């Protein structure tokens, strides 16, 4: 008989907030594991190293998407050391400066931002879609 840990899909909640300080727009992410067992998150899709290797934020201004200017390269499938373990009931926080990876037009504007990523499968852990709450922010601050 399978126990709940073996059949229940991973549940990771992503909370997103943003902080504006002059010309800096910092995304603050919190990944909370609500699963009965550990989950493994792909480091490059979580901004754990304060950098973005993937276009994981949907940033729009009046319905127009803001272009990602970070690296767009073909990568090999992730290896075991490309993941970080998030124990059951724990939270992992990350921060990244969005203006370094997205091309914001000049002038103070309101932007809607949401984090969206597909976390690659890891051994018996299936592919997971990670989606945060949506935040509206004025950038740069008027």
Q: Whole domain around residue 97: which residue ranges? A: 4-136
Do 110 and 136 form a contact (C-beta atoms < 8 A)? yes
Averaged pLDDT score across all residues of the chain = 93
79: CATH: 2.60.40.2970
Does residue 73 lie within any of the structural domains? yes
Can you tell me the distance from the alpha carbon of 136 to that of 126, in angstroms, rounded to the nearest whole number?
Answer: 31
Do 27 and 12 form a contact (C-beta atoms < 8 A)? no
**Segment 14-21 mean pLDDT:** 98
Does residue 75 lie within any of the structural domains? yes
Does residue 141 lie within any of the structural domains? no
The whole-number pLDDT of residue 36 equals 96
- Please give the model's pTM, rounded to 2 decimal places: 0.91
**Is the predicted pLDDT of residue 1 greater than 50, yes or no?**
no
Q: Strand pairing of 135-139 and 57-61?
A: unpaired
Domain count, the chain: 1
Do 41 and 84 form a contact (C-beta atoms < 8 A)? yes
């Amino acid at each position: 008989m399978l126990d709940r840990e073996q059949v229940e899909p991973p549940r990771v909640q992503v909370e997103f907030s943003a902080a504006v300080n002059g010309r800096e727009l910092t995304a603050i992410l919190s990944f909370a594991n609500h699963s009965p067992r550990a989950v493994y998150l792909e480091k490059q899709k979580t901004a754990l190293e304060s950098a973005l290797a993937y276009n994981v934020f949907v940033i729009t201004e009046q319905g127009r998407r803001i272009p990602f200017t970070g690296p767009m390269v073909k990568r090999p499938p992730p290896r075991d050391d490309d993941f970080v373990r998030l124990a059951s009931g724990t939270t992992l926080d990350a921060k990244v400066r969005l203006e370094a990876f997205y091309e914001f037009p000049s002038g103070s504007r309101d932007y809607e931002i949401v984090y969206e990523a597909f976390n690659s499968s890891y051994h018996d852990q299936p592919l997971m879609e990670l989606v945060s709450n949506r935040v509206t922010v004025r950038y740069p601050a008027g």
